[in-house]
Amino acid sequence: MRSCMALRRLSWLLLSILSGLCLAFGPPRLTDSDLPKQSLTPDQLRAMRQVPLPQITAASAMLINTTTGEILYARNERERRAPASLTKLVTALVALQRGRLDREIRVADTDLAVYSAADMRAGDFYTLRELLFFLLIPSDNAAAMTIARGLAGDVRTFVGWMNAL
């Protein structure tokens, strides 16, 4: 029972640290070394104005001046979007709470109904530790499915565990 509580605390600490890192660093900022050493000539400025603006193909996008907070560009900025990688972090948290890192899990055909960045194959066995690496480093969707099915028996039960956090 004590080890379960310690694992739960460790899992929450890990999630807190990961969330903090994601939020703490913010967008990259230019430094003096990023700025050009000399001014652009009028000809260079004219040439730059002739370059077409890039086509933005994302369904939603936003460009913000981080100094002033001014929104420079916005497209569908209020549209709800799937949480994407945040779901993978919660999957990892639940897996750490419910499974042993050395537990071997077999990849099923149904796990591969989604993209596998790690090129997993049906019938392969991976430890939970390996699957967590696949989940968190290349963001492998099939690893998420394999973890869920392998630990809970089915995805629905695993999602229930996630929602119970």
Residue ranges covered by each domain of the chain:
2-19+82-163
Instruction: Give the model confidence (pLDDT) of 33-75 as tens digits.
Output: 656 567 778 888 888 888 887 888 888 888 888 888 888 889 9
Query: For the residues 93-105, what does the mean pLDDT come to?
Result: 97
**Strand pairing report for 104-106 and 71-75:** unpaired
| Contact call for residues 145 and 113 (beta carbons, < 8 A) | yes
Helix, coil or strand: residue 119: coil
* 2-19+82-163 placed in CATH 3.40.710.10: yes
Q: What are phi and psi of 125, to 5 degrees?
A: -110, 135
Query: For the residues 149-165, what does the mean pLDDT come to?
Result: 95
pLDDT at 129: 96
Average pLDDT, the chain: 84
Q: Which residues contact 75 (CB under 8 A, 6 or more apart)?
A: 56, 58, 59, 60, 61, 62
**Phi-psi region at 94: left, alpha or beta (left = phi > 0; alpha = psi -120 to 50):** alpha
- Token representation of residue 92: 């990892």
- Per-residue confidence at 126, pLDDT binned at 50, 70, 90? very high
Angle (CA) 148-153-156 rounded to 5° is: 65
Mind telling me the catalytic residues?
85, 88, 139
Query: For the residues 113-122, what does the mean pLDDT come to?
Result: 89
Instruction: Give the model confidence (pLDDT) of 23-38 as tens digits.
Output: 555 555 656 665 656 7
pLDDT at 13: 64
